Amino acid sequence: MVSSIPLFSLKFNNLKPKDNFIRYMLLVVSIVLLIILKIKAIPFIVLTYILLSIVEQKINKNK
């Protein structure tokens, strides 16, 4: 699949919350969705990943 949206990496370089805020946010949202929706949460997690990638791209662009 080819996408023109650059997605952020899921690798943690360090554990500092400031450096990995988007990754931690994805992790927390994913866990909550999995608890509530179980297997039906997977499409919402993917959508959340894409939306957070767009948000991170806009934040980095404004810096």
**Sequential pLDDT tens for the chain (63 residues):** 677 888 989 998 888 988 899 999 999 999 999 999 999 999 999 999 999 999 999 988 887
- Give this prediction's pTM: 0.87
Quote the CA–CA distance of 14 and 2 in Å, as a whole number. Answer: 29
Which 8-state DSSP code applies to residue 10? -
- Cβ atoms of residues 48 and 34 within 8 Å: no
Please tell me the predicted confidence (pLDDT) of residue 63.
75
Please tell me the predicted confidence (pLDDT) of residue 1.
63
